[in-house]
Structure 1
Amino acid sequence: MKLLKLAKWLDEKNVAFIVSSIGIAIILLWIGTTKFTPTESNGIAGLVKNSPLMSWMYHIFSINTTSAIIGVLEILAALAILAGNFSPRVGIWGSMLCVVIFFVTSTFFLTTPDTVTMFDGVYAPSGTGSFLIKDISILGASLFLLSHFAKKTLESGN
């Protein structure tokens, strides 16, 4: 019974929304700003190069420009998620951008070599794989935010 009361309180106070929106915004703002550094630009190069969804960017832009474009999109998504608290319609756009970002980064797990390794007879994510696999959860949180902002928009009649 106490667990049910806690769940009801969490729902009434929108705790999942608050934690998800702030968490995703922090992740995107932080990682988005690092995309303007040479270290991060070079750090994501292998991921982007091996991605059928993103490798085309290197045919048009340099490694640094590609990274900066990704950074701008990440920062825009974060700001739109935060703005969604005041304008749910803006939150919808930010959430959609997050869904695209984290869908694409989730596919890196499948397209980047050596994301899975074997140790002690068990297959497990490698260091890179562990870094990437978390994006599946963030993709789920992004879908949750999209649903939340859509409901708020419908409730307000906008």
Structure 2
Amino acid sequence: MSKVKLLIDFVLNTAASLKGAGIHMVRIAIFIIFVWIGGLKFWNYEAEGIVPFVANSPFMSFFYAKDAPEYKDYKLKEGEFDKVKHEWHKANNTYTFSHGLGVAIMSFGFLTLLGIWFPKVGFIGTGLVTLMTFGTLSFLVTTPEVWVPDLGSGEHGFPLLTGAGRLVIKDVCILAGAVVVLADCAQRILKRK
């Protein structure tokens, strides 16, 4: 056997042995992302930043007191403070909803991480992550701010994503990882029966 073939076999066998560690790494990645992003929901700039997504969503807009188009007059740049706009967001339930969403997101991350030791708990957590990620991806259909607007350059609309759209599309990767982890939890639960 040639040295090259031995090296290729070694690399393939080593890579194949990493599957279990890789699945745990996905769990840890989901945990980090969800705890971090969920924690940010307690900061005003993050709560204000998600308003276009929530206000335009047929699944979530009822959490807000104001109708969808109105928020456009009360947008703030990240880090900006304007008392009138801040009061509008308070009246809209922007901050209250964001805090509740943050708790939910962090909980999903913790439950997913616990799947390393408790597959039933992980199955629930990763199932919730999967559902939430589908909800997030629905913003590509419901939120006008995810597509570059027609401002005269001729470059606008699908497939040209804005910063908000690029933020959302990354959830495809989280969804794929969550499905792998969900399947792993299900396999481990079935093995114990």
TM-score range, shorter chain: 0.7 to 0.9
The counterpart of 1:39, out of the listed 45, 54, 63, is 45
Tell me the equivalent position of 2:172: 136
* 1:146 paired to 2:182: yes
- Root-mean-square deviation (CA, aligned residues, Å) is 2.1
Q: TM-score scaled to structure 1, two decimals? A: 0.88
Aligned length: 154
Tell me the equivalent position of 1:7: 15
Partners of 2:27 and 2:112 within 8 A in 1: yes
Structure number with higher strand proportion: 1
Quick one: distance in 1 between partners of 2:159 and 2:142? 17
1:75-101 Cα distance to aligned partner (Å, 9 max, x none): 111111111112110001100110111
**Identical aligned residues as a percent:** 32
Tell me the equivalent position of 2:28: 22
Detail structure 1 runs of 4+ shifted over 2 Å in the superposition.
1-7, 116-120
Quick one: distance in 1 between partners of 2:140 and 2:22? 26
SS in 2 for 1:114: helix
The counterpart of 1:75, out of the listed 106, 111, 117, is 106
Quick one: distance in 2 between partners of 1:48 and 1:113? 12
- What residue identity is the alignment partner of 1:27? I
Query: Larger deviation: 122-131 or 111-120?
Result: 111-120
Quick one: distance in 2 between partners of 1:112 and 1:149? 33
Q: TM-score scaled to structure 2, two decimals? A: 0.73
Query: Deviation at 1:123?
Result: 3.9
- What residue identity is the alignment partner of 2:161? P
